[in-house]
């Protein structure tokens, strides 16, 4: 089967489509639900989940076709029988071809939505809801095999008619299908292309125009408002289409796809995207983008506050109401206040406050309004992404309300980080020569144009983090351009790793991907060559393809010039380690003319000190040829006395400084001396020295902890009565006594040394109190040992040493093997165990007291081992796992399941895949026997 069939050329745009239709390489799910661009959401025709479903349906349909068991045929069976009758060669097709045939089978039936009382109310009593009306509008249903199968599959995925579009798509994705959103798929109108009337009515301007169409307004104006509405709507759409020629729209699609890929090459987390060729009605080429749908992706709309001039920050918000948290001093105690409900306009309708101990009580609107928003510190990657924004110079990159960028969940969370900053919608990147790079300074400040149309909107959302976070983008660019030598790169990686930032350390370690330097520039050059080739191969569209190549050539020059300017700006700092960057960061915050811990409008409490562009006192750490450093204050205003007064708050640093040519400096500092100076000044000390209210790391941790305490489910009160006594076991042992002998033959044991090893040594049994059970399943220990001995499996499971036999338990110990694993993300070792049980099953366990991340990592490895050695329809029981570990085990199992089912030659499908249950096996079997009786 060809790869990437979802990139198959699209047919000419048609609105005569129905769920289940095959369009190009996609199965149509719905019209594009977001934005005003025309398009659709579809799943790939090669989606494993859907294809496996059809394969299983074919077996049942064929069986009923060959030996009918009922005279009343289902629509699906009747359609299948008809296909078999009309297509005698169907049985001779390969299975994949049969599935493709059934998918593509169409029989469109035109229907109309009925009118409802609710919609009639919108007609008469709303002034901006007409775009939501469906009454009497036509739509199509595919009553062919493709449509019937897809409707049946949606039921299998538990898709409900009233589901929100995101829930609808997520359920399909959760069943091993990759969904895509197709954008820029408009039709040709008056020589241009653009959204239809219904889409235009969804915009803010369209909603305002709808007021003219309200029946009461039309009557009151003698019909004039209705005429004005029609004329205004037609003129606006004509203006939109006139300014969006097919060539310009195609060019924008090409640039959006390219810009997204460039951001990914530079290290930013972004959506998957590709371009697909299509055709307009007149035969002109069409280029659309296919964006991978990411379940859980949430744009940052209305998550910004703190600025009146589009200089806001991302604030913390409540997971239920989606409205911002606030903190407020009430009777001298700082409470967290949040909304408990909201109206149809997303305005809060009720409030509650949370004490430092996590106790919840009612709050008033006045208390909420007097509070401060809190800058968000749950999102990873904000500072790291800043340089990509600056390089692409998309002035609307964040959007006026945060709508142009997004977040995705981090699972499992990384400390307080629960979300990852995520790049979407790069449609306005590289519009021309970069207008801000010329004023960019090495603290990432720049002169933001005051002209409203040119202003870089809400880039401030990426700034509330330490300089070392922003420098990540510089390190990645320097590595991509070959500007970091191996020793410099290793030191930078080592420092991030020591600060527990393993995610970035791993990213920089592997950057650039496959060691390809300048991969972003090579990508642009490759696409330029592709479009010149298309121009040569298509004489009729030669001019159009050459235009695309010329625009990409312009982007290549802009990208190259911009990056050279950036690297020149950061020429000194990009060779420094994060610790050395911290020293400069905190010195500049200490000596700045002004510093703030509130947002520009004073409504948001920031997590870090903010220094405005004009208040900065720059410092540099210049590296000498002999490896020493010169620390220099580069202030040109000769404010020696003022700076000295501020430095008195850091006497250790002031003692090292001398005055030379009107500037403070400390020469020939060793690396150790620089690191010592960095440790003597931190942001909290700077805030205290300047008298600034500062949210320490402890304060932020307590903020999250009180929310966790408040959201904890209320525990049921224990019932009165005598507690059930545990089974009697010998007091000398913590392990449960075995019910019977093990069926598995004893494994060869290494010779016991005279001196006892530790309790985790291979020559002594491992007490059950030192392990945590993950799951139990049928299996054979020798078979597992054979599986673990293969080199390819060792590599896939990250096994870091030899597989050794051992024993589990002190009372009647069971045969086992210890599997040493290395978690590359945390750079730690963790031991997993596979052991026999008294019921002839295998028990999979993890060493006790490892971190949450290491337990999840080990649980995934054990799930892989168990699944690879399981039979179809096997039962995995995790009822004996610690309650607090069950969520991690369940997530690990689902992750491995998704990986396994996505393999082209998986031994399982959705129906035969092993099941993870939270019911003891014996109990489950007893329940089945009772039901049978």
pLDDT tens per residue across span 108-163: 999 988 877 777 777 777 777 777 777 778 899 999 999 999 999 999 999 999 89
In a domain, 743, yes or no: no
In a domain, 814, yes or no: yes
* 781: pLDDT strictly greater than 70: yes
Q: Tell me what pLDDT residue 424 has.
A: 94
- The listed range with the strongest mean pLDDT (170-179, 701-710, 720-729) is 170-179
* 762: pLDDT strictly greater than 60: no
Residue 531, preceding peptide bond in cis (omega within 30° of 0) = no
Q: Tell me what pLDDT residue 287 has.
A: 94
Q: Tell me what pLDDT residue 921 has.
A: 46
User: Average pLDDT of 375-396?
Assistant: 96
- The better pLDDT of the pair 476, 871 is held by 476
* 723: pLDDT strictly greater than 60: no
- At 810, the pLDDT band (50, 70, 90 cuts) reads low
User: Average pLDDT of 826-832?
Assistant: 88
Alpha-carbon span 368 to 366, nearest angstrom:
5
DSSP reduced 3-state for 138: strand
* 741: pLDDT strictly greater than 50: no
> Is there a single domain that holds both residue 763 and residue 878?
yes
**Closest listed residue to residue 743, CA positions, set 834, 815, 819, 805:** 815
* 729: pLDDT strictly greater than 60: no
* 404: pLDDT strictly greater than 60: yes
* 788: pLDDT strictly greater than 80: yes
> Is there a single domain that holds both residue 691 and residue 782?
no
Q: Tell me what pLDDT residue 624 has.
A: 95
* 101: pLDDT strictly greater than 50: yes
User: Average pLDDT of 918-924?
Assistant: 54
In a domain, 72, yes or no: yes
Tokens 């939505």 appear where? 113
- The listed range with the strongest mean pLDDT (300-304, 607-611, 643-647, 889-893) is 607-611
Q: Give the rounded percent of residues in the chain with a pLDDT score beyond 90.
A: 62
pLDDT tens per residue across span 43-73: 999 999 999 999 999 999 999 999 888 778 8
> Is there a single domain that holds both residue 18 and residue 164?
yes
- At 303, the pLDDT band (50, 70, 90 cuts) reads very high
Q: Tell me what pLDDT residue 785 has.
A: 87
| Predicted structure pTM score | 0.74
> Is there a single domain that holds both residue 676 and residue 779?
no
> Is there a single domain that holds both residue 795 and residue 691?
no
Contact 54, 62 (CB under 8 A): no
Alpha-carbon span 99 to 96, nearest angstrom:
5
* 691: pLDDT strictly greater than 90: yes
- At 717, the pLDDT band (50, 70, 90 cuts) reads very low
Q: Tell me what pLDDT residue 2 has.
A: 55
Q: Tell me what pLDDT residue 760 has.
A: 31
Q: Give the rounded percent of residues in the chain with a pLDDT score beyond 70.
A: 92
> Measured between alpha carbons, how far is residue 421 from residues 7, 298, 301, 607, 843 in Å?
27, 10, 13, 17, 39
**Closest listed residue to residue 504, CA positions, set 531, 529, 461, 473:** 473
- At 532, the pLDDT band (50, 70, 90 cuts) reads very high
Tokens read off for 297:
């992706």
In a domain, 793, yes or no: yes
Q: Tell me what pLDDT residue 715 has.
A: 58
Tokens 């449509």 appear where? 147
Q: Which domain holds residue 779?
A: 757-767+775-917
In a domain, 290, yes or no: no
Alpha-carbon span 825 to 21, nearest angstrom:
43
Contact 363, 372 (CB under 8 A): no
> Is there a single domain that holds both residue 24 and residue 166?
yes
Based on the structure, what is the number of domains in the chain? 3
Mean pLDDT of the chain: 87
* 743: pLDDT strictly greater than 60: no
* 724: pLDDT strictly greater than 70: no
* 792: pLDDT strictly greater than 90: no
Q: Tell me what pLDDT residue 749 has.
A: 37
SS (H, E, C) 444-510: CCCCCCCCCCCCCCCHHHHCCCCHHHHHHHHHHHHHHCCCCCHHHHHHHHHHHHHCCCHHHHHHHHC
> Is there a single domain that holds both residue 167 and residue 48?
yes
Tokens read off for 369:
């309004």
- The better pLDDT of the pair 177, 198 is held by 177
- At 719, the pLDDT band (50, 70, 90 cuts) reads very low
In a domain, 910, yes or no: yes
* 746: pLDDT strictly greater than 70: no
Tokens 């309300």 appear where? 401
DSSP 3-state percent helix, strand, coil across the chain (nearest 5): 40, 20, 40
Q: Tell me what pLDDT residue 370 has.
A: 93
Q: Tell me what pLDDT residue 812 has.
A: 66
CATH code for the domain in which residue 787 is found:
3.30.310
Long-range contact list for 652-659, CB < 8 A, 24+ apart? 652/677, 652/680, 652/681, 653/587, 653/677, 653/680, 653/681, 656/631, 657/631, 657/633
Q: Tell me what pLDDT residue 811 has.
A: 57
- At 757, the pLDDT band (50, 70, 90 cuts) reads very low
> Is there a single domain that holds both residue 30 and residue 175?
yes
Q: Of 651, 669, 695, which residue constitutes the final position of a domain?
A: 695
Instruction: Compute, in degrees rounded to 10, the torsion defined by CA atoms 44, 47, 49, 50.
Output: 50
Q: Of 128, 155, 184, which residue constitutes the final position of a domain?
A: 184
Alpha-carbon span 493 to 496, nearest angstrom:
5
Q: Tell me what pLDDT residue 830 has.
A: 92
> Is there a single domain that holds both residue 101 and residue 20?
yes
Which DSSP string corresponds to 606-647? EEEEE--GGG---EEEEEPTTS-EEEEE--SS--HHHHHHHH
Per-residue burial over 504-539, b = 16 or more CB atoms within 10 Å of its CB, e = otherwise:
bbbbbbebbeeeeeebbbebbeebbeebbebbeeee
* 730: pLDDT strictly greater than 80: no
Alpha-carbon span 922 to 917, nearest angstrom:
12
Using a 10 angstrom Cβ sphere, with 0-12 exposed, 13-18 middle and 19 or more buried, the burial of residue 807 is buried
* 437: pLDDT strictly greater than 90: yes
> Is there a single domain that holds both residue 799 and residue 881?
yes
Sign, CA torsion 63/67/72/75: positive
pLDDT tens per residue across span 577-627: 999 999 999 999 999 999 999 999 999 999 999 999 999 999 999 999 999
In a domain, 513, yes or no: no
Alpha-carbon span 575 to 627, nearest angstrom:
12
Contact 516, 600 (CB under 8 A): no
In a domain, 59, yes or no: yes
Measure the CA angle with vertex 636, ends 631 and 640; round to 5°. Answer: 70
pLDDT tens per residue across span 463-495: 999 999 999 999 999 999 999 999 999 999 999
SS (H, E, C) 17-62: CCCCCEECCEEEEEECCCCCCCCEEEEECCCHHHHHHHHHHHHHHH
> Is there a single domain that holds both residue 23 and residue 159?
yes
User: Average pLDDT of 682-703?
Assistant: 94
> Is there a single domain that holds both residue 627 and residue 763?
no
pLDDT tens per residue across span 835-863: 998 777 899 999 988 898 999 999 999 99
Name the least confident of 308-312, 646-650, 809-813.
Answer: 809-813
Contact 32, 181 (CB under 8 A): yes
Alpha-carbon span 133 to 152, nearest angstrom:
27
Sign, CA torsion 397/398/404/406: positive
**Closest listed residue to residue 24, CA positions, set 369, 419, 403, 290:** 290
Q: Tell me what pLDDT residue 559 has.
A: 96
> Residue length, the chain?
933
Q: Of 663, 695, 727, which residue constitutes the final position of a domain?
A: 695
- The listed range with the strongest mean pLDDT (28-37, 391-400, 741-750) is 391-400
**Closest listed residue to residue 592, CA positions, set 609, 613, 616:** 616
* 237: pLDDT strictly greater than 90: no
pLDDT tens per residue across span 535-555: 999 998 999 999 999 999 999
- At 908, the pLDDT band (50, 70, 90 cuts) reads confident
User: Average pLDDT of 702-721?
Assistant: 72
Q: How far is CA 694 from the centre of its chain?
A: 30
> Measured between alpha carbons, how far is residue 599 from residues 324, 612, 745 in Å?
15, 11, 69
Q: Tell me what pLDDT residue 3 has.
A: 62
């Amino acid at each position: 089967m060809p790869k990437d069939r979802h990139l198959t050329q699209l047919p000419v745009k048609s609105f005569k489509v129905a769920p289940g239709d095959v369009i190009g390489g996609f199965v149509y799910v719905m019209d594009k639900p977001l934005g005003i661009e025309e398009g659709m959401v579809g799943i790939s025709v090669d989606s494993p989940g859907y294809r496996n479903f059809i394969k299983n349906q074919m077996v049942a349909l064929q069986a009923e076709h060959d030996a009918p068991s009922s005279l009343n045929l289902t629509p699906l069976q009747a359609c299948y029988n008809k296909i078999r009758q009309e297509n005698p060669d169907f049985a001779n097709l390969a299975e994949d071809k049969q599935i493709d045939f059934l998918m593509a089978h169409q029989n469109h039936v035109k229907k109309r939505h009925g009118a409802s009382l609710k919609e009639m109310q919108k007609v008469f009593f709303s002034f901006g809801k007409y775009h939501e009306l469906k009454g009497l509008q036509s739509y199509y249903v595919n009553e062919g095999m493709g449509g019937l199968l897809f409707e049946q599959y949606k039921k299998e995925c538990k898709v409900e008619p009233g589901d929100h579009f995101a829930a609808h798509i997520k359920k399909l994705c959760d069943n091993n299908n990759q969904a895509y959103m197709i954008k820029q798929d408009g039709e040709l109108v008056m020589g241009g292309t653009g959204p239809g009337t219904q889409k235009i009515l969804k915009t803010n301007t369209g909603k305002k125009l709808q007021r003219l169409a309200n029946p009461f307004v039309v009557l009151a104006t003698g019909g004039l408002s209705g005429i004005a509405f029609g004329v205004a709507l037609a003129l606006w759409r004509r203006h939109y289409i006139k300014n969006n020629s097919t060539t310009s729209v195609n060019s924008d699609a090409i640039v959006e796809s390219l810009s997204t890929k460039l951001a990914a090459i530079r290290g930013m987390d972004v959506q998957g995207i590709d371009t697909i060729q299509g055709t307009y009605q007149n035969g002109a080429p069409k280029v659309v983008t296919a964006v991978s749908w990411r379940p859980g992706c949430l744009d940052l709309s209305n998550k910004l506050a703190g600025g009146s001039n589009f200089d806001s920050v991302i604030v913390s918000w409540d997971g239920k109401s989606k409205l911002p948290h606030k903190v407020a001093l009430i009777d001298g105690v700082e409470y967290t206040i949040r909304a408990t409900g909201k109206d149809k306009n997303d305005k809060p309708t009720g409030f509650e406050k949370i004490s430092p101990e996590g106790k919840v009580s009612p709050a008033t609107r006045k208390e909420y309004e007097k509070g401060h928003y809190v800058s968000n510190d749950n999102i990873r990657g904000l500072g790291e992404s800043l340089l990509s924004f600056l390089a692409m110079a998309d002035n609307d990159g964040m959007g006026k309300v945060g709508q142009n960028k997004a977040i995705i969940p981090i699972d499992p969370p990384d400390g307080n980080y629960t979300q990852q900053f995520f790049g979407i919608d790069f449609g306005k990147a590289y519009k021309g020569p970069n207008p801000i790079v010329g004023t960019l300074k090495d603290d990432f400040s720049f002169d933001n144009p005051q002209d409203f149309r040119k202003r870089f909107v809400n880039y401030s959302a990426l700034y509330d983090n330490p300089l070392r976070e922003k420098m990540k983008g510089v390190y990645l660019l320097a590595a991509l351009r070959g500007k970091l030598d191996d020793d410099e790169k290793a030191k930078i990686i080592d420092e991030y790793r020591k600060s527990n930032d393993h995610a970035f350390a791993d990213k920089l370690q592997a950057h650039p991907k496959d060691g390809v330097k300048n991969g972003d520039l090579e990508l642009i050059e490759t696409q330029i060559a592709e479009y010149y080739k298309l121009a040569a191969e298509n004489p009729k569209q030669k001019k159009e393809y050459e235009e695309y190549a010329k625009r990409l050539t312009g982007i290549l020059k802009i990208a190259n010039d911009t990056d050279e300017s950036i690297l020149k700006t950061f020429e000194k700092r990009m060779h420094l380690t994060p610790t050395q960057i911290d020293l400069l960061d905190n010195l500049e915050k200490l000596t700045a003319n002004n510093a703030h811990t509130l947002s520009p409008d004073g409504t948001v409490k920031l997590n870090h000190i903010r220094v405005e562009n004009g208040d900065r006192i720059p410092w540099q750490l210049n590296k000498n040829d002999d490896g020493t450093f010169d620390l220099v204050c580069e202030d040109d205003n000769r404010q020696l006395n003022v700076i000295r007064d501020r430095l008195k708050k850091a006497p250790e640093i002031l003692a090292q400084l001398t005055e030379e040519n009107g500037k403070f400096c400390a020469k020939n500092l060793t690396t150790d001396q620089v690191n010592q100076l960095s440790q003597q000044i931190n942001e909290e000390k700077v805030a205290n020295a300047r008298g600034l209210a500062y949210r320490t790391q402890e304060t932020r941790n307590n903020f999250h902890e009180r929310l966790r305490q408040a959201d904890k489910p209320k525990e049921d009160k224990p019932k009165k009565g005598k507690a059930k006594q545990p089974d009697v076991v010998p007091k000398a042992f913590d392990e449960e006594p075995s019910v019977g002998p093990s069926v598995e033959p004893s494994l060869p044991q290494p010779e016991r040394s005279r001196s006892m090893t530790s309790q985790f040594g291979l020559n002594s049994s491992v007490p059950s109190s030192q392990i945590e059970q993950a799951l139990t399943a049928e299996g054979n220990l020798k078979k597992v040992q054979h599986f673990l001995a293969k080199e390819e499996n060792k590599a896939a499971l990250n096994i870091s040493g030899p597989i050794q036999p051992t024993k589990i338990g002190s009372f009647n110990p069971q045969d086992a093997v210890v599997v040493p694993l290395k978690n590359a993300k945390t750079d730690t070792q963790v031991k997993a165990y596979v052991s026999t049980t008294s019921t002839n099953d295998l028990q999979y366990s993890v060493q006790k007291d490892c971190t949450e991340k290491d337990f999840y990592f080990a649980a995934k490895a054990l799930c892989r081992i168990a699944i690879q050695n399981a039979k179809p329809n096997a039962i995995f029981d995790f009822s004996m796992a610690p309650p607090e570990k069950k969520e991690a085990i369940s997530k690990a199992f689902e992750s491995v399941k998704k990986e396994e089912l996505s393999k082209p030659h998986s031994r399982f499908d959705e129906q035969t895949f092993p099941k993870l249950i939270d019911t003891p096996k014996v109990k489950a079997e007893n329940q089945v026997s009772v039901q049978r009786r």
